[in-house]
C-alpha cells in the first residue's frame, strides 16, 4: 500500500495532527501549522457529490501544494458507492492518506446520512469503510464520534473493532456524541476503551487545548496520537509546545509579543498571496484575536485590525504595535 510505511513511522512518533476544519485548514494554514510542528495535516471535509460533479470548489479543496506531502484529504457523503468513487478521484490528488468523515454533527449533513449520520447505523458505516478501503491504494482512516447520542452504551468500542476488521489504518475519535455538537466536555475515556480492543492506531480528539492536555490525553488513553482543532485556530504554537513536552519533557515558553505580531503578518501576507484582497485579509481575521492574546493594548489592536480590508494598512497597524512594544521582550499568554 502506498505511503503505508511512512504512515506507520509517523504514528510511532506520537503525531500531533491538525484537525480537518472547514474554511480553516486550507493550504496556507496547513503550512503554518506544519512550521510550528504539526506532524500531519488534514484538509477540510470535501463533499463527494461536489467532487464527482467536478465542482470547482471541491477540486480546489483537494488540490495539494508541493509541501502538502503529509496532508490527508477528508471526504464525506452518505452513499457508499459514491464515497468509494470519490475516494478514487481524491486519490489522484496524491494525499498522504484518505480520511472519511463520520463525525460531522451539523443537521444538514448528519440528517442526510453523511458525517455523524453514519453513527445511526454502525454496521452500514463499517461496510462503507470497507468499500472505500478496497477501492484505493493509500491508507484509509475514519474520523468519528463516540456515538450519535443518547445511547445508553456508546457504540464506539464495538465499532472500532469492526472498522479495524474492515481494513482502515487508523481511527480518530472525537470524544463527544453527535448530539453534543461542540458542547460539554470531551470524554477521553472512550478513546481509551476503544484503544484497548484494537491494534490499529487510535487518535484522540476533543478539547486538547494545551501541550499538557496532549500529553494527558495520550497517557490516559494509550492512543498513538492527538488531533487538535479549535485551539490551533488561535494558537498554532500548540504544536511546538506539545512536541517539546512529548519529545523532551520540556515546557516550552509561550510565544513572545513579537512572534505573535510576526505570525499575524505572515498569515495575512500568505492569505493575500493565495486569495488576493480583500478576501485574503478577511479570512485571516478569525485567527488574529487569538494570535494577539495577551499583548498589551491587544483589544484596541484587534478593533483596528478587524475592520481593515487592506493588507498594507494592516501591516502598518502591526508595525506600529511592534515599535510600541520594542523595549519589552516578555512572553505573554
Ligand X SMILES: Cc1cc2nc3c(=O)[nH]c(=O)nc-3n(C[C@H](O)[C@H](O)[C@H](O)COP(=O)(O)O)c2cc1C
What's the CA gap between 304 and 325, in Å, rounded?
17
Pair 81, 64: CB distance under 8 Å: no
Asked if 174 is part of the footprint of ligand X (rule: CB under 6 A), the reply reads yes
Compute the least distance from the CB of residue 24 to ligand X, in Å: 6
- The nearer residue to ligand X, 152 or 183, going by C-beta atoms, is 183
What's the CA gap between 228 and 174, in Å, rounded?
10
The helix-helix angle for 298-305 and 311-325 (nearest 10°) equals 170
Q: Rg of the chain over CA atoms, in angstroms?
A: 20
Asked if 117 is part of the footprint of ligand X (rule: CB under 6 A), the reply reads no
- The nearer residue to ligand X, 27 or 104, going by C-beta atoms, is 104
Asked if 20 is part of the footprint of ligand X (rule: CB under 6 A), the reply reads yes
Asked if 74 is part of the footprint of ligand X (rule: CB under 6 A), the reply reads yes
104 catalytic residue (yes or no): yes
DSSP SS3 for 169: coil
Asked if 228 is part of the footprint of ligand X (rule: CB under 6 A), the reply reads yes
Asked if 24 is part of the footprint of ligand X (rule: CB under 6 A), the reply reads yes
Compute the least distance from the CB of residue 323 to ligand X, in Å: 34
Q: How many residues bind ligand X (CB under 6 A)?
A: 21
Integer distance in angstroms from the first to the last C-alpha of the chain? 44
- The nearer residue to ligand X, 126 or 146, going by C-beta atoms, is 146
Compute the least distance from the CB of residue 330 to ligand X, in Å: 28
Candidate segments 190-198, 204-212, 243-251, 270-278, binder of ligand X by CB under 6 A: 204-212
Total count of residues recorded for the chain: 333
Asked if 77 is part of the footprint of ligand X (rule: CB under 6 A), the reply reads no
- Find the binder of ligand X among 31, 61, 143, 267 (CB under 6 A): 143
- Find the binder of ligand X among 18, 21, 84, 86 (CB under 6 A): 21
What's the CA gap between 260 and 266, in Å, rounded?
10
Which of the 8 DSSP states describes residue 224?
A: S
What's the CA gap between 91 and 87, in Å, rounded?
6
- The nearer residue to ligand X, 31 or 174, going by C-beta atoms, is 174
- Find the binder of ligand X among 206, 236, 255, 280 (CB under 6 A): 206
Asked if 19 is part of the footprint of ligand X (rule: CB under 6 A), the reply reads yes
> Which run of H or E residues covers position 194?
helix 189-197
What are the phi and psi torsion angles at 40 (to 5°)?
Answer: -140, 150
- The nearer residue to ligand X, 61 or 257, going by C-beta atoms, is 61
Q: How far is CA 73 from CA 25, 98, 319, in A?
A: 11, 5, 37
- Find the binder of ligand X among 85, 207, 224, 308 (CB under 6 A): 207
- The nearer residue to ligand X, 22 or 322, going by C-beta atoms, is 22
What's the CA gap between 205 and 213, in Å, rounded?
11
Pair 213, 227: CB distance under 8 Å: no
Compute the least distance from the CB of residue 116 to ligand X, in Å: 9
Please pick, among 102, 104, 175, 264, the residue that the annotation labels catalytic: 104
Candidate segments 50-58, 63-71, 201-209, 313-321, binder of ligand X by CB under 6 A: 201-209
Closest CA to 96 of 41, 59, 135, 134: 41
What's the CA gap between 16 and 238, in Å, rounded?
9
What's the CA gap between 108 and 313, in Å, rounded?
39
Candidate segments 27-35, 100-108, 194-202, 259-267, binder of ligand X by CB under 6 A: 100-108
Contact positions toward ligand X, by CB under 6 A? 19-22, 24, 44-45, 74, 101, 103-104, 143, 174, 205-208, 228-231
Residues involved in catalysis = 104
Amino acid at each position: 500500500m502506498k505511503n503505508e510505511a511512512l504512515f506507520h513511522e509517523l504514528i510511532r512518533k506520537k503525531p500531533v495532527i491538525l484537525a480537518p476544519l472547514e474554511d480553516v485548514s486550507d493550504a496556507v494554514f496547513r503550512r503554518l501549522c506544519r512550521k510550528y510542528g504539526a506532524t500531519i495535516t488534514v484538509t477540510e471535509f470535501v463533499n463527494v457529490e461536489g467532487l464527482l460533479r467536478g465542482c470547482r470548489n471541491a477540486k480546489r479543496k483537494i488540490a495539494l501544494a508541493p509541501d502538502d506531502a503529509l496532508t490527508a484529504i477528508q471526504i464525506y457523503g452518505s452513499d457508499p458507492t459514491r464515497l468509494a468513487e470519490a475516494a478514487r478521484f481524491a486519490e489522484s490528488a496524491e494525499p498522504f492518506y484518505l480520511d472519511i468523515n463520520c463525525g460531522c454533527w451539523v443537521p444538514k449533513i448528519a440528517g442526510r446520512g453523511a458525517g455523524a449520520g453514519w453513527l445511526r447505523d454502525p454496521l452500514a458505516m463499517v461496510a462503507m469503510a470497507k468499500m472505500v478501503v478496497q477501492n484505493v491504494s493509500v491508507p484509509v482512516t475514519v474520523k468519528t464520534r463516540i456515538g450519535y447520542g443518547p445511547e445508553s452504551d456508546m457504540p464506539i468500542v464495538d465499532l472500532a473493532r469492526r472498522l479495524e476488521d474492515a481494513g482502515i489504518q487508523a481511527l480518530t475519535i472525537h470524544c463527544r456524541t453527535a448530539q453534543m455538537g461542540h458542547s460539554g466536555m470531551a470524554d477521553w475515556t472512550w478513546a481509551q476503551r476503544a484503544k484497548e480492543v484494537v491494534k490499529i492506531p487510535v487518535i484522540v480528539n476533543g478539547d486538547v487545548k494545551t501541550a499538557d492536555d496532549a500529553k494527558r490525553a495520550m497517557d490516559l488513553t494509550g492512543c498513538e496520537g492527538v488531533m487538535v482543532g479549535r485551539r490551533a485556530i488561535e494558537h498554532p504554537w500548540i504544536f511546538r509546545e506539545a512536541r517539546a513536552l512529548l519529545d523532551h519533557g520540556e515546557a516550552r515558553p509561550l510565544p513572545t509579543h513579537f512572534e505573535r505580531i510576526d505570525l499575524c503578518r505572515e498569515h495575512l501576507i500568505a492569505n493575500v498571496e493565495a486569495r488576493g484582497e480583500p478576501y485574503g485579509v478577511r479570512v485571516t481575521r478569525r485567527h488574529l484575536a487569538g494570535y494577539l492574546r495577551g499583548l498589551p493594548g491587544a483589544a484596541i489592536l484587534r478593533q483596528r485590525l478587524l475592520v481593515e480590508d487592506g493588507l498594507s494598512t494592516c501591516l502598518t497597524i502591526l508595525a506600529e504595535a511592534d515599535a510600541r512594544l520594542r523595549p519589552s521582550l516578555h512572553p505573554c499568554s
